[in-house]
Amino acid sequence: MYQKAQLEKLSPPSKVLVVSGDGILGEYLTKIISRYLGCEIFIAMNAAEALSYLYAGGFDLVLLDLSTQELCGPLMVRSMQNLSYPVSILVIADIDSERELEEIMNLGISRVVHKPIKISELLEMIAGVFMESQQIYA
């Protein structure tokens, strides 16, 4: 399992947005991220709320739960890719979102955490996202 010190070496995010209509999942992700990354975390329950947060700016990472009602995953990803600042995206998917997941992967999203979420897998994916972004923006 990843240790907090290992993630800190990667310059982890300072501001994270969790997009999930599932309050229990949102709280679970918030606890994990705050424990291991110690960053500022915001939760959006739907696409409109998420976009409002994102347009306000400053997010380093978005955890996007595809099972969120009234959320078109591919449209949401395109909106995030068109922000005025770079943001890393990590998708959370379940078996029911395979078609949507394929479309999102065609948009360049390669990091996906499948439900049920394992802490070690989530932290590994976050580390991978930030290793990639540091190579791109370095």
pLDDT tens digits, one per residue of 27-55: 999 999 999 888 899 999 999 999 999 99
Per-residue model confidence (pLDDT) at position 138: 46
What CATH number is given to the structural domain containing 53?
A: 3.40.50.2300
Longest CA span, the chain: 37
Query: Considering the chain, what is the average pLDDT of its residues?
Result: 84
The answer to whether the predicted template modeling score (pTM) of the entire model surpasses 0.75 is yes
**What pLDDT band is residue 137 in, cutting at 50, 70 and 90?**
very low
Give how many domains the chain has, as a whole number: 1
The average pLDDT across 96-121 equals 85
Of 7 and 22, more confident? 22
Q: Which residues pair with 92 in a beta bridge?
A: 65, 113
Angstrom distance (rounded) from CA 12 to CA 109: 19
Query: Which range of residues forms the domain containing residue 104?
Result: 4-137
The average pLDDT across 50-65 equals 93
